[in-house]
Chains A and B, each alone.
Chain A
Amino acid sequence: MSRFERQHILPDFGATGQEKLRDARILVVGAGGLGCPALLYLSAAGVGTIGIADGDSISESNLNRQTLFGHDDIGKPKAGTAGKLLKAKYPDINIQIISDYLNSENILDILEEYDLVLDGSDNFGTRYMVNDACVLAGKALVMGAIYKYEGQVTVFNYGEEPVNYRDLYPVPPAANEIPNCSETGVLGVLPGIIGTLQAAEAIKIISGLGKVLSNKVLFYDLKNCSFYEVIVKPNPASAKQIPADRESFRKTDYNITCGLAESISWEKAMEWSRSIENSVLIDIRELNEEPVFDQKDIEKIPMDSLSDNTTQLENVEHVLLFCKSGQRSMKLAEQLKQKFPEKKIFSVEGGILHPSSPLKMQNDGA
């Protein structure tokens, strides 16, 4: 008896399908609302090698949908925490942890290690970057995305007449076209459904089972429990939007922000926090996130607390936010900027990991 017994006895899948899963290498981008269920089912199904790429850390507001994490995980890195749990549950599979955010410098090299990509990221910049990288590297891409009570799923770069994200939406939305820069609500079960659909498509591609959702986009509406499927054909006009080669891909800037908040260098942030009276430098990481900096010129207010309660910002004119990599602080800065358009709100570029950061990841008494 093996743990895959019930898959072995399945017609059309069987031992052959199981062997294909065992030999497969899947990269999951984002261990969030979509990534958590996808990771859980891919590992349970016996996918031999799974890469988990996420540079973020777990916060309390993630817990309604990011089901691999619990209360004790708040502040811990997502990729490593998910990987540890899955390794403990399924010691027979190989889990690779990529605890940095993917970017146009590192993604092509990482993709070489994988057969298929499952995108569960949470922003347009990453989605376009992953799409273009998969086109250049010739990898199938299972994309899922959500908005409030609705989700979309599709398979790109697969089959005889492959299509990709740009055949559907040739260029990323401009700053003013991004629907809602502040956090939108989501019922936790929605990404559970969409992420699980993505895992099913990935398993079908690997094992050659059934009809794959390629050249089609499936829309799901949770409130009405309705599905809507549309066909996508290659769009000649969009092909030229993709960087022509690896070199031009590396030079492409995929950072898309809402255009509201600005980033600031460490040098300027430190100078301002010391010299400008109504300014504050805030560490928005979770309170238990390592390393902990105890410095009197740094306020420590976790992201969720600050977005819930902004009374501490009332008398402040210059708000300087930082986190580990600069991603969370940019997200929060944009959110706060919507609330306080008159304040100067900045995200410290690159966060603690930035080479010019005066704070170091190894807390050497700085």
Chain B
Amino acid sequence: MERFKIKAFGMLAEKLPSQEFDFPVYADTEELLNKLEQEYPQLKEAKYSLAIDKQVVHDKQALNGNEEIALLPPFSGG
């Protein structure tokens, strides 16, 4: 069965299994994010952007399972 490859950066990786992990495939970004937040509730208390195949997306987008998903938090340190 196909699994998504998900990359997480910065503080998000601390709320998830690791910087890179597998996750079941869902039909669109909205469903995927809901399931991710269900599985890892700490994600709900985080601000991040979603990139599909290295492109930031804001609106709901259909997924086929072959995409690379990245969760990108803002950093504030300087």
List the interface of chain A (C-beta within 8 A of B).
30, 32-35, 119-124, 127, 144-148, 150-152, 167-169, 173-174, 176-180, 184, 186, 191, 217, 219, 221, 224, 228-233, 235, 237
List the interface of chain B (C-beta within 8 A of A).
7, 9-11, 19, 45-47, 49, 51, 54-56, 58, 70, 72-78
- Also in contact, A219 and B78, with CB within 8 A (given A179-B73, A230-B56, A231-B56): no
Q: How far is the CB of A144 from chain B (nearest CB, A)?
A: 7
Q: How far is the CB of B65 from chain A (nearest CB, A)?
A: 20
Residues of A within 8 A of B78 (CB): 30, 32-35, 119-122, 144-146, 191
Residues of B within 8 A of A219 (CB): 9, 72
Q: Are B76 and A123 in contact (CB under 8 A)?
A: yes
Nearest residue in B to A169 (C-beta to C-beta)? B74
Q: Are A179 and B49 in contact (CB under 8 A)?
A: no
Q: List 30 A-B contacts (CB under 8 A).
A: A32-B78, A122-B76, A122-B77, A127-B74, A127-B76, A144-B78, A145-B74, A145-B75, A145-B76, A146-B77, A150-B9, A150-B10, A150-B75, A167-B56, A168-B72, A173-B74, A174-B47, A179-B46, A179-B73, A217-B72, A221-B9, A221-B19, A228-B7, A228-B9, A230-B54, A231-B54, A231-B55, A231-B56, A235-B58, A237-B58
Residues of A within 8 A of B9 (CB): 150, 219, 221, 228
Q: Are A230 and B55 in contact (CB under 8 A)?
A: yes
Q: How far is the CB of A364 from chain B (nearest CB, A)?
A: 35
Q: How far is the CB of A214 from chain B (nearest CB, A)?
A: 14
In the bound complex, CA of A237 to CA of B58 (Å)? 9
Among B10, B51, B54, B76, the one with the most A-chain Cβ atoms within 10 Å of its Cβ is B76
Residues of B within 8 A of A146 (CB): 75, 77-78
Interface of B is mostly: loop
Top 8 A-B pairs, shortest CB-CB distance:
A145-B75, A122-B78, A179-B11, A147-B75, A173-B47, A146-B77, A230-B51, A147-B10
Among B7, B47, B70, the one with the most A-chain Cβ atoms within 10 Å of its Cβ is B47
Residues of B within 8 A of A145 (CB): 74-78
